[in-house]
Amino acid sequence: MAKMQKYLVETIIENKRLAKDPEGETIYRELINKGGYDEIISVRSGKYLRFVVNAQSQEEAEKTVYKMCNDIRIFNPVVHSCKIIARGKIP
């Protein structure tokens, strides 16, 4: 059995592309346009979660987080997309 190690797994939960994103739109309209940042084309907001997971491999760590995110309904699959990114071992 492989040794257990700590892995960093990041999760980004966003509204789906076609769903409205009031927070991002507000930042875009109110703040960026007022400040004259014409080079900003779009802003989308989301939720960020960082997990430290004990696992035997990066794939296992990623799977654990994926399973958990679905199990505990950390996002709503109807309106949110959930991206899970393993970022490797933690020394």
Residues that bind its own copies (CB under 8 A): 6, 12-14, 24, 27, 31-32, 35, 37-55, 64-65, 68, 71-72, 74
**Residues contacting 88, CB < 8 A, separation 6+:** 7, 8, 58
Closest approach of Cβ 77 to its own copies, in Å?
17
For residue 22, the number of C-alpha atoms closer than 13 Å in the C-beta half-sphere is 0
3-state secondary structure of 85: strand
Which is nearer to its own copies, 32 or 58 (by Cβ)? 32
Closest approach of Cβ 20 to its own copies, in Å?
15
